[in-house]
Amino acid sequence: MPYMSVNMRTILMFLGNCDMPQLTIHILNAQEKLTVHCEWLRTTLNDTFVKVTRLMPTPSVDVIVKAGKCVIPEKGHAGFCPESGVIYITVDPENPAFCKNVAHSIERMFAHELHHAARWAGPGYGSTLGEVLVSEGLAGHFSLELLGGEAEPWESLKSDIVKPYYPLMFENWNHTDYDHNTWFFGTGDLPRWLGYTAGFNLISRYLASSPHLKASMLANIKADELKAFI
């Protein structure tokens, strides 16, 4: 099998600007589970990266893509950005949602993770509940800014589900011992996706109060500036 790493350095040289951020894609494909998807994945991720760099300062990143089952069932993929220069993407080629890619789903996910990468390069993703709510809300709004369309399902819980928990969020804003899986994935006694919707709504209120701003301009904003918008 050919080497599955794609480096954008050559492309950027043709553009005449080698100082631009670079994307290096590593597709893990020893078992050939992604062979038929490799070209599409490279093209899709490259194109999205270029669009993002035109909209906001973006660090160079390595993107590791692998097949697996630990994905969002409704999407067939999942992304994770643990630091400014690395993004992990898992896709399930057996999930019909992955192949359909409705509403540019994988592009939206990648844009979301790239905003996290940009935030990691600044104040960081965060270690408190409040910081993480802000980071997730900003990333969700950035995907909309870049690609339009509608908010993701995890950003769209009804207000009567989310509203009762706002006092608890305010109370736990500065807590580093919050349970991420409980707040964002519903593994405990909180609604699934509560944190994602709450963060998205928080940023919605902030942007409504400052219509001259966009998520692409806010990668470095400090979370405490937004606490009042819970």
Task: Tell which phi-psi region holds residue 103, choosing left (phi > 0), alpha (psi between -120 and 50) or beta.
Answer: left
Length of the chain equals 230
Let me know whether 93 and 136 are in one domain. no
Let me know whether 9 and 111 are in one domain. yes
Residue 11 pLDDT: 46
Let me know whether 111 and 165 are in one domain. no
Let me know whether 136 and 223 are in one domain. yes
Q: Any idea what the CATH number is for the domain that residue 106 is in?
A: 3.30.2010
Say how many domains are in the chain: 2
Spatial separation of the C-alpha atoms in residues 197 and 136, rounded to whole Å? 9
Domain of residue 150 covers 129-229
Let me know whether 12 and 116 are in one domain. yes
Question: Does the pTM exceed 0.75?
Answer: yes
In tens, the pLDDT along 135-164 reads 999 999 999 999 999 999 999 999 999 999
Residue 39: other Cβ atoms inside 10 A: 11
Mean local confidence (pLDDT), 78-82: 99
Question: Over 50: is that where the pLDDT of 1 sits?
Answer: no
Domain boundary among 87, 120, 153: 120
Mean local confidence (pLDDT), 35-52: 98
Domain boundary among 120, 142, 162: 120
Residue 13 pLDDT: 41
